[in-house]
Amino acid sequence: MSAEVGRRSKRSASPSFRPRLPNTRAVSLSLYVVRRVLWMIPVIFFVVLITFVLMHLAPGSPWDKGGGRQLSQSVVRNLNIKYGLDKPVWQQFLLYVWNAAHFDFGLSYQYEGKTVASLILGGWPYTFTIGALAFCLVVPIGIGLGVLAALRQNTRTDYLTMTFATFGASFPNFVVGMLMIIVFGVLAYNVSGGNVSLPVTGFGLDDHLIMPVITLALLPTAYIARLTRASTLDTLRQEYVRTAWAKGLSERLVVLRHILRNSLIPVATALGPTFALLITGSVIVETVFAIPGIGRSFVTAVESRDYPMILGTTILFSVVIALANLVVDILYVFIDPRVRLD
Amino acid sequence: MHRSMFDFRLGRVLAVGAAMATVAAACGSTPASGPSGAAPASQQVLSINDQTEPNSYDPGQETYTYEAAVGRNVFEPLLKPKADLSDVTGAAASGYTVSSDGLTYTFHIRSNANWSDGKPVTGSDFVYGWKRLLNPALAAGYVDPFFDTNVAGAADYGKVDATNATAIDAFLSGLGLSAPNSKTFVVKLQHPAAYFKWVATLWVGAPIRQDVVESAAGGSFPSSDATKAEAWASNASTIIGNGPFKISAIVPKDHVTLVPNTHYWAGTAAIKQLTYDFIPDANTAFAKYRTGALDIINVQGANVTVVRNDPKLSKQAKLIPRLTAFWMAYNTKRSPLNNQDVRMALAKAIDRNQLTQDVLHGTDKPLTSFLPKGMLGYDNSDNAQSFDAAAAKQLLQKSGVSVADLNKMKLLTRNTTTNQTVNQFIIQQWKTNLGLDIQLNVIDSKTVTKMIRAGNFDIYGPDGWGADYPDPQDWADIFQSGSCHALNWGCPTLPGYDALVQKADASQSASSRLADYKTAQKQLIDTAAVGFLYQQYEYDLIQPWVTNMSITPIDDEYVPGDFYYQGVYIKKH
A positions 56-95 inside 8 Å of B (CB)? 58-61, 64-75, 77-79, 81-82
Number of folded domains that form chain B = 2
Burial class (CB in 10 A: 0-12, 13-18, 19+), B63: buried
**ipTM, two decimals:** 0.84
Query: What mean pLDDT, rounded, does chain A reach?
Result: 88
Picking from B145-149, B385-389, B523-527, which range would have the lowest pLDDT averaged per residue? B145-149
Are B218 and B333 in the same domain?
no
Are B229 and B344 in the same domain?
no
Record: contact B8-A68, CB cut-off 8 A: yes
Are B457 and B530 in the same domain?
yes
Nearest Cα neighbor of B447 from A66, A98, A196, A307 is A66
SS3 state of residue B410: strand
Nearest residue in A to B138, CA atom: A82
Percent of chain B with pLDDT over 90: 85
**pLDDT tens track for A52-64:** 999 999 888 898 8
* pLDDT exceeds 60 at position A260: yes
Top residue of A75, A85, A120 to mutate, by most chain B CBs within 10 Å, is A75
Q: What is the mean pLDDT of residues B513-521?
A: 96
Provide the pLDDT for residue A194.
82
Q: How far is CA B565 from CA A10, A219, B164, in A?
A: 65, 44, 42
Record: contact B449-A185, CB cut-off 8 A: no
| CB-based contact, A193 to chain B, within 8 Å | no
* pLDDT exceeds 50 at position B177: yes
Are B262 and B347 in the same domain?
no
* Separation CA B500–CA B479 (nearest Å): 12
* pLDDT exceeds 90 at position B108: yes
In a domain, B17, yes or no: no
pLDDT interval class at A319 (50, 70, 90)? very high
Are B242 and B342 in the same domain?
no
CA-based nearest distance A219→chain B, Å: 21
Are B129 and B249 in the same domain?
yes
Provide the pLDDT for residue B80.
95
Are B199 and B331 in the same domain?
no
In a domain, B508, yes or no: yes
Provide the pLDDT for residue A12.
43
Record: contact A111-B55, CB cut-off 8 A: yes
SS3 state of residue B411: strand
CA-based nearest distance A319→chain B, Å: 24
Record: contact A66-B2, CB cut-off 8 A: yes
* pLDDT exceeds 90 at position B347: yes
CA-based nearest distance B55→chain A, Å: 4
* Separation CA B43–CA B23 (nearest Å): 21
- Give the per-residue SS3 of chain A: CCCCCCCCCCCCCCCCCCCCCHHHHHHHHHHHHHHHHHHHHHHHHHHHHHHHHHHHHCCCCCCCCCCCCCCCHHHHHHHHHHCCCCCCHHHHHHHHHHHHHCCCCCECCCCCCCEHHHHHHHHHHHHHHHHHHHHHHHHHHHHHHHHHHHHCCCCHHHHHHHHHHHHHHHCCHHHHHHHHHHHHHHHHHHHCCCCCCCCCCCCCCCHHHHHHHHHHHHHHHHHHHHHHHHHHHHHHCCHHHHHHHHCCCCHHHHHHHHHHHHHHHHHHHHHHHHHHHHHCCCHHHHHHCCCCCHHHHHHHHHHCCCHHHHHHHHHHHHHHHHHHHHHHHHHHHHHCCCCCCC
Cβ(A305)–Cβ(A60) below 8 Å: yes
* pLDDT exceeds 90 at position B165: yes
Record: contact B445-A66, CB cut-off 8 A: yes
Top residue of A70, A112, A173 to mutate, by most chain B CBs within 10 Å, is A112
A69, A110, A185 ranked by CB distance to B287: nearest: A185
Query: What mean pLDDT, rounded, does chain B reach?
Result: 91
Provide the pLDDT for residue A4.
40
* pLDDT exceeds 90 at position B11: no
Is B563 or B361 the better-scoring residue by pLDDT?
Answer: B563
Top residue of B446, B465, B469 to mutate, by most chain A CBs within 10 Å, is B446
Record: contact B143-A200, CB cut-off 8 A: no
In a domain, B367, yes or no: no
CATH number at residue B443: 3.10.105.10
SS3 state of residue B16: coil
Record: contact A200-B486, CB cut-off 8 A: no
Partners of A58 on chain B (C-beta within 8 Å) are 446
**pLDDT tens track for A139-161:** 999 999 999 999 999 999 999 99
CA-based nearest distance B48→chain A, Å: 14
Nearest residue in B to A60, CA atom: B446
Is B39 or B487 the better-scoring residue by pLDDT?
Answer: B39
Provide the pLDDT for residue A59.
82
In a domain, B294, yes or no: no
Partners of B453 on chain A (C-beta within 8 Å) are 64, 70
Most confident of B143-147, B246-250, B376-380: B246-250
Residue B498: give the domain boundaries. Answer: 325-351+375-536
Provide the pLDDT for residue B24.
37
Provide the pLDDT for residue B33.
52
Is B20 or B515 the better-scoring residue by pLDDT?
Answer: B515
CA-based nearest distance B312→chain A, Å: 13
**How far is CA B115 from its chain centroid?**
26
| CB-based contact, A319 to chain B, within 8 Å | no
Top residue of A55, A61, A69 to mutate, by most chain B CBs within 10 Å, is A69
Q: Supply the Cα-derived Rg of chain A in whole angstroms.
A: 24
Q: How far is CA B266 from CA A308, B91, B566, in A?
A: 44, 10, 8
Provide the pLDDT for residue A22.
58
**pLDDT tens track for B25-34:** 334 344 445 6
Q: What is the mean pLDDT of residues A242-253?
A: 90
| CB-based contact, A301 to chain B, within 8 Å | no
In a domain, B504, yes or no: yes
CATH number at residue B206: 3.90.76.10
- Angle, helices B510-526 vs B497-506, to 10°: value is 160
Cβ(A116)–Cβ(A107) below 8 Å: yes
Provide the pLDDT for residue A68.
65
Cβ(B207)–Cβ(B85) below 8 Å: no
A positions 170-189 inside 8 Å of B (CB)? 178, 181-182, 185-186, 189
* pLDDT exceeds 90 at position B525: yes
AA letter at B416:
T
**pLDDT tens track for A26-54:** 788 888 889 989 999 999 999 999 999 99
Are B340 and B255 in the same domain?
no
CA-based nearest distance A21→chain B, Å: 53
Partners of B252 on chain A (C-beta within 8 Å) are 119, 122-123, 292
CA-based nearest distance B449→chain A, Å: 7
Taking CB atoms and an 8 Å cut-off, how many pairs form between chains A and B? 174
Record: contact B157-A74, CB cut-off 8 A: yes
Residue B275, φ and ψ in degrees, nearest 5:
-115, 130
In a domain, B119, yes or no: yes
Are B230 and B339 in the same domain?
no
In a domain, B502, yes or no: yes
Is A42 or A336 the better-scoring residue by pLDDT?
Answer: A42
In a domain, B85, yes or no: yes
Q: What is the mean pLDDT of residues B94-112?
A: 96
**pLDDT tens track for A195-233:** 888 999 989 999 999 999 999 999 999 999 999 999 999
Partners of A65 on chain B (C-beta within 8 Å) are 7, 9, 449
Record: contact B158-A112, CB cut-off 8 A: no
CA-based nearest distance B479→chain A, Å: 13
Are B191 and B65 in the same domain?
yes
CA-based nearest distance A5→chain B, Å: 29
pLDDT interval class at A10 (50, 70, 90)? very low
Are B207 and B341 in the same domain?
no
Q: Which of B221, B246, B269 is the last residue of a domain?
A: B269
Are B222 and B340 in the same domain?
no
Provide the pLDDT for residue B277.
97
* pLDDT exceeds 90 at position B262: yes
Provide the pLDDT for residue B148.
75
Partners of B254 on chain A (C-beta within 8 Å) are 202-203, 290, 292
Record: contact A201-B139, CB cut-off 8 A: no
